[in-house]
Structure 1
Amino acid sequence: MAKNALFIMCDQLRWDYLSCTGHPHLRTPNIDRLARRGVLFDRCYVQSPICGPSRMSFYTGRYVSSHGSTWNNVPLKVGEMTLGDHLRPLGVRTALCGKTHMTADAEGMRRLGLAPDSEIGVRVAECGFEPYERDDGLHPDGGRYARNRNYDDYMRAKGWNDDNPWDDVANSAEDDDGTLLSGWFMENADKPARADAEDSETPYIVRRAIDFMREAGDEPWCLHLSLIKPHWPYIVPAPYHDMYPPETHRPVVRTEAERENAHPVFAAFMEERVSRAFARDEVRTRVIGAYMGLIRQIDDEMGALLDFLDERGLSETTLIVFTSDHGDYLGDHWMGEKELFHDPSARVPLIVVDPSPDADATRGQTSDALVEAIDLVPTFLDHFGGPEVSHILEGHSLLPVLHGRMRKVRDVAVSEYDYSMRDVRRRLGVPVRDAKLTMVFDGRWKYVFAEGFRPMLHDLETDPDELVDLATSPDHSQELARMEGLFFEWTRRTSQRTTISDEKIAARDPRVAEAAAGILIGYWSPSELEDTVPDDATDPRAGNPDTPQS
């Protein structure tokens, strides 16, 4: 049977909201089932703590400052290779079922004459995926996001005649008088959505993924099943809406000292509307109950999905990845949403299941290797027997860890955030080009470079909750300087030379290449040229950058 890959991504799922990652009350037996089959990577960090740029790093295998899609709806430029571009030459059908948050580079496509409805144009516009069913999960009446008309039709066939069933049915409740109670308002988070559980977003998109796998036949495929929950609106259908009362919620992680001594950028984010909302206990209580219910629903659907794979024999050939694009503060550190680099925001769950016998020895293990979202594209490429293209991909395949050949993947994890489009930038008076934050984490020390401000520094060994910023402590100046050095080292990486590999450059003999091109710089006579060019240079064009190479 052909090899396959199933790339499952949740949206806004915190790393610590699964039973296999330590939540004391939220049971996720089916996701735990995945962890028993593979390896749970306990220290995985995303390349940006917000949807769009994070996903573009997942899909390109490159850091945010390399691919350039620095915030939501900033287009991924034409020419950036994505997962589908790497797998398609290997004969692997690479499809999407769910969300990408991709914004196409329409201007670049016009410049190159790529029609949006052409085969190549669709791939470029859909982040390299064949869009089996794209559903970004945001369809408010404002109309900024494209509606999933398939879901509209499905809900109407179920008897819902609302103009926008995503907004009015799947993400709204109603009171005893039939008045709509929008899930956008967090006061309604404890109420059941109008949709039946089986008709809500998660079961619907999982069923569509199963449809794809049924139709795919024997050809190799990589399916990106990208769920749109537990991302807001925080509302969930019965019976999930009241499964988790306040006594099952994790206690909030924050101190008054954080607010009193906050870094200027951190302090500004604490004043955002969503942060001020989550500072209120009644908001946390209502939202977290729904958030946990959404995760429990995801887990139930993962059970149905795994059963399907087992029944079809696909579990024996399919590499499975389960992860999230970022986390959710849920009131920790006086924050709502995501966007900064505390673990509730930038750390995500990652489970990788390799069906091959080579991975038998590590099944059920938890790895403490420091890994990043950009490691997934190289892992998929490795699974399908593709070439190593380290001049393009900045991540590393995780298969050597799964096969027990390697324990350490990297020395530091890096995450970037461009806050230029946030009101925080305006209130701080920061120029657009300077609204940048970069996290460097070495497994103990978490350093954040903030352009125009002092840095931040946390010691997660003595302060695992990241409550004390040590950047201004004279006793930690040495660690601060060391982490600054690691950041500077990372900034000096080569990331834009993606058209020729280091290996091709190393194999190139500049003497032969220049002579073959008729460029004779510094020679005194023909005899000197004969002495310089080796006799065994049978093809003097080898390595010439002016000669087309595959």
Structure 2
Amino acid sequence: MAGKIKNILFIMFDQLRFDYLSCAGHPTLETPNIDRLAAKGVRFSNAYVQSPVCGASRMSFYTGRYVHSHGAAWNNYPLKVGETTLGDHLREIGMDAFLIGKTHMKADEKGMERLGVSRDSIIGARVWECGFDVYLRDDGLWGEGPSGFYDKRRSPYNEYLKARGYEAENPWAENANAGVADDGEIASGWFMKNARKPANIREEDSETPWLTSRAIDFLEERRESDAPWLCHLSYIKPHWPYIVPAPYHAIYGRNQIVPAVRHVSEKTDPHPVHAAFMNNPIGQAFSRDEVRETVIPAYMGLIKQCDDQMGRLFAYMEETGRMDDTMIVITSDHGDYLGDHWLGEKDLFHDPSVKVPLIVFDPSREADAARGTVCDELVEAIDLAPTFIEAAGGEVPRHIVEGRSLLPFLRGEKPDDWREFAVSEYDYSATPMAGELALEPRDARLFMIADRRWKFVHAEGGYPPMLFDLEKDPQELVDLGRSDEHAQIIELMYERLSRWARRLSQRTTVSDAEVVARRGNPYATGILIGVFDEDEIEPRWSEKYRGPARQRFLPDSD
């Protein structure tokens, strides 16, 4: 090992479950390349995202702040123009920050216009792209319907495919995310029955190899450069549509699927919010064994392809010496229920949704003591931003960044005052479920508090809380939120939620050190509030206010 971190490779997979890696205990899915990275670094087994939905979660990763602070609470909610991002922090200490792949960033166009920030300027481009300098951005959802494209920007991936000879107007939809039916028709991946089919694309042209190739291009271009960088390599998969090219479509079968974590009792008098999500079309679909048996092998195949591409990327880094001076992180923005708890997608706070894989490889000598270990401390997604700032040699601005650096754990140490609980939030006010529950937008919100024993969820709108005993019920099948026997636990969790909500999070323009410095004697600047007689203070404080009057403008007295 080189003994010092020069660069940071921040890899994120979209919708990758925390337990769908062989190093995390999956019994049939093989991920040897990711496992090897875990064997050289630290795997965090209790890593929680700050929101179980793409956009809000990613904005917390990129700012180091809770959703409660940055306000971008759902997909395509703009990140406020004044929020400081990871790229901003790193550039202050001499490290560039680049993007390859997805951010789900929605720029605050109105805020930029109000402040006169042009998108065409360097600063404006960075504000528009969540603080990154874009090497390549592709958010990976090029769906198209009667109203046009879901994503109105150009698709670099579609342009690449057309240059490679794919003739479709939207080859993302027609090739990368579709197979071919027996009658020669398009077998779209949007229809989950087609998940067993191979995607109609050369494997090397599919999304995951394409982004890996762009990452290698990026690394190759910087082989001779001494400038340190962070590269956020953000993959589109294994996010739906659930379809994968050959040979990955046929590697796994229904006999290799892990049984669903669910019980019929969950449908008996369920929490109203849980019931609303169970009854939506996604929950109803993934409650069917046919759907799980068709989709999950494809999901596993997508992960296997991701792992193979990690092998390709890491081999290049080893050949070029980049493994010796680059911190590497592998994580995800949230998980995927896949039928657990009668749910599909993400959204709520059971482990399959809110927990993510997190593996950190630190090449420095100081990390030798912790290599190959598993840390079960409560870790949050916002902890990566301060970790990167410290790894780059900077000091974490605690008045802005709310996470805590993981460097001590990477080096075999544990802070004495590590967090007691993790927090996650979900604003579902823009979903049909909020409408079905007849909730005002301000009431369609959930807050999770999780410690080592308990997971608690507060639901706005007058609903009871949810509570799970993770020790006795690790699969989270029994909701104790309405149990009188657990009133004290619920009271403790509400106290923690209240304490968290009262944290100082909005004074981001003045640091604690600056605040303390302002506690000095105000007399030094001539502000003599509370002084009755000049003899009550030292003469030096009132020097500017004593002596003969130079002129007299008072009216003559009688």
Bin the TM-score by the shorter chain: over 0.9
Partner amino acid for 1:11? D
Corresponding residue number in structure 1 for 2:134: 131
Partner amino acid for 1:468? V
Structure 1 position 509 matched with structure 2 position 556: no
Of 458, 479, 487 in structure 2, the residue corresponding to residue 469 of structure 1 is 479
Query: Shift of the alpha carbon at 1:509?
Result: 2.4
**1:134 touches 1:148 (CA, 8 Å); kept in 2?**
no
Partner amino acid for 2:219? M
Query: Shift of the alpha carbon at 1:218?
Result: 2.4
Identity %: 58
Distance 1:238 1:529 in 2: 85
Distance 1:516 1:263 in 2: 61
1:267-295 Cα shifts (integer Å, max 9, x gaps): 11111111011011111111101100000
**1:139 touches 1:147 (CA, 8 Å); kept in 2?**
no
Corresponding residue number in structure 1 for 2:547: none
Q: Could you say what secondary structure the match of 2:274 adopts?
A: helix
Structure 1 position 183 matched with structure 2 position 189: yes
Corresponding residue number in structure 1 for 2:207: 201
**1:327 touches 1:345 (CA, 8 Å); kept in 2?**
yes
TM-score (norm 1): 0.95
Query: Shift of the alpha carbon at 1:157?
Result: 2.6
Distance 2:478 2:385 in 1: 35
Shifted more, 361-370 versus 150-159: the winner is: 150-159
TM-score (norm 2): 0.93
Structure 1 position 167 matched with structure 2 position 176: no
Query: Shift of the alpha carbon at 1:146?
Result: 3.8
Partner amino acid for 2:132? F
Corresponding residue number in structure 1 for 2:357: 349
Query: Shift of the alpha carbon at 1:529?
Result: 3.6
1:30-429 pair list within 5 angstroms: 30-141=33-144, 142-216=148-222, 217-406=225-414, 409-429=418-438
Distance 2:11 2:248 in 1: 21
Distance 2:541 2:402 in 1: 36
1:341-372 Cα shifts (integer Å, max 9, x gaps): 00000000000011000000100000011100
**2:15 touches 2:332 (CA, 8 Å); kept in 1?**
yes
In structure 2, stretches of 5+ residues that fail to align are 544-558
Distance 1:78 1:157 in 2: 36
Q: Could you say what secondary structure the match of 2:426 adopts?
A: strand
Corresponding residue number in structure 1 for 2:553: none
Q: Could you say what secondary structure the match of 2:530 adopts?
A: coil
Corresponding residue number in structure 2 for 1:541: none
Distance 1:49 1:98 in 2: 20
Distance 1:455 1:479 in 2: 11
Greater Rg over alpha carbons, structure = 2
1:180-216 Cα shifts (integer Å, max 9, x gaps): 1111111111111001111000000111011111112
Q: Could you say what secondary structure the match of 2:74 adopts?
A: coil
Partner amino acid for 2:464? R
Corresponding residue number in structure 1 for 2:456: 447
**2:60 touches 2:67 (CA, 8 Å); kept in 1?**
yes
**2:33 touches 2:310 (CA, 8 Å); kept in 1?**
yes
Aligned residues: 533
Distance 1:426 1:164 in 2: 33
**1:114 touches 1:121 (CA, 8 Å); kept in 2?**
yes
Distance 1:532 1:341 in 2: 62
Q: Could you say what secondary structure the match of 1:189 adopts?
A: helix
Distance 2:537 2:272 in 1: 63
Query: Shift of the alpha carbon at 1:517?
Result: 4.7
Partner amino acid for 2:387? T
Distance 1:288 1:238 in 2: 16
Q: 1:303 to 1:146 in 2, by over 3 A?
A: farther
Query: Shift of the alpha carbon at 1:176?
Result: 3.2
In structure 1, stretches of 5+ residues that fail to align are 536-550
Partner amino acid for 2:473? D
Structure 1 position 4 matched with structure 2 position 7: yes
Structure 1 position 523 matched with structure 2 position 526: no
